[in-house]
Amino acid sequence: MLFIFASRSRPREDRYLHLRVALLCVGAALGLTGMLLDIAWLIWIALAALLAGLALRHLRVRGQGADDEGIEQL
């Protein structure tokens, strides 16, 4: 019952997953380095990298069998 909200179906393929993970790692490293060295512009670049990764989450490419809401038709 712990995983009651977990999806039982196979998740859709995410084309940008590797790029999102890379942006998360780069943004985290730049952010921590900027905080450690107290460099404000480096922190802003880290924030931009993290926001770019967040924006990639909303890019979805519809398949040929998708309807108007992006739901696959069987």
- Residue position matching structure tokens 């179906």: 9
* Assigned domain for 30 exists: yes
* Assigned domain for 4 exists: no
* Assigned domain for 11 exists: no
CA 58, 62, 67, 70: dihedral to nearest 10 degrees?
-20
* Assigned domain for 74 exists: no
- When divided into structural domains, the chain yields a total of 1
DSSP 21-34: HHHHHHHHHHHHHH
* Assigned domain for 37 exists: yes
- Residue position matching structure tokens 């196979």: 10
* Assigned domain for 64 exists: no
* Assigned domain for 49 exists: yes
Average pLDDT over residues 67-71: 53
Strand partners, 66: 72
Question: What is the pLDDT at residue 59?
Answer: 74
The verdict on pTM exceeding 0.85 is: no
Structure-block tokens of residue 69 = 């809401």
Residue range of the domain that includes 22: 17-56
Q: What is the pLDDT of residues 17-55, one digit of tens each?
A: 899 999 999 999 999 999 999 999 999 999 999 999 989
* Assigned domain for 45 exists: yes
